[in-house]
């Protein structure tokens, strides 16, 4: 089913701690001052215009690294699972928050692709190779501190309160990202070529 908003927070890293503190600030501004605020705890967002790097934006990074023959390192065993949320679905969620701002004000919602849009790192690399025909080369490194073995968002509270649902499955979203990367390969080359 996935991680609900009631699941106790476990920050795993200073980065996670800073995100948790920001969540609380936003909630407190709603509670104390009556501001219409909402927190969307975003999972793995991907899509066109994402300039992925090794530490952030792994979906785009794996595709960009493959395209420009850059090394990919899988930290850990590659079986880490994430739910992927296409950027257009995230934008629709923000639009939904604006439309339903009185309903969602003061709430925190997990926001990801949910259980139907999950992939492990190795499954994603296999998809790139088998379904998209990309030549993928990678090596393994030690697990990094703070990496979670699995994270899948449960979006059901937000869905029930607003009617929002994810519309883009991972195969379509990844194909859209690849199309954008190919169309912009010349522009991207200055940032990613070796």
Q: Of the listed 15, 25, 94, 140, which one is catalytic?
A: 15
Measured distance CA(23)–CA(18) in Å, rounded = 9
In contact, 84 and 113? CB cutoff 8 Å: yes
In contact, 80 and 150? CB cutoff 8 Å: yes
- Residue 129, CB-side half-sphere exposure with 13 Å CA sphere: 10
If one counts every other C-beta atom within 10 angstroms of the C-beta of residue 46, the result is 24
140 is annotated as an active-site residue: no
In contact, 112 and 77? CB cutoff 8 Å: no
Measured distance CA(6)–CA(184) in Å, rounded = 41
Cα 81–chain centre separation: 11
Active site residues: 15
């Amino acid at each position: 089913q996935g991680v609900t908003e009631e699941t106790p927070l476990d920050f795993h890293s200073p980065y996670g701690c800073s995100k948790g503190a920001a969540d609380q600030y936003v909630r407190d501004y709603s509670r104390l001052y009556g501001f219409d605020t909402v927190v969307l705890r975003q999972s793995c967002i991907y899509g066109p215009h994402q300039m992925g790097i090794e530490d952030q934006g792994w979906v785009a990074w794996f595709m960009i690294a493959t395209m420009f023959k850059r090394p990919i390192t899988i930290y850990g065993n590659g079986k880490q699972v994430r739910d992927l949320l296409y950027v257009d679905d995230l934008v629709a969620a923000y639009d939904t928050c604006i439309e339903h701002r009185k309903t969602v004000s003061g709430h925190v919602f997990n926001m990801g692709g949910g259980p139907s849009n999950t992939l492990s790192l190795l499954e994603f690399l296999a998809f790139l190779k088998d379904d998209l025909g990309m030549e993928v080369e990678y090596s393994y490194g030690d697990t990094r501190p703070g990496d979670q073995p699995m994270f899948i968002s449960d979006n059901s509270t937000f869905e029930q309160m607003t009617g929002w649902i994810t519309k883009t499955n991972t195969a379509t979203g990844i194909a859209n990202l690849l199309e954008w990367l190919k169309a912009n390969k010349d522009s991207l080359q200055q940032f990613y070529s070796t």
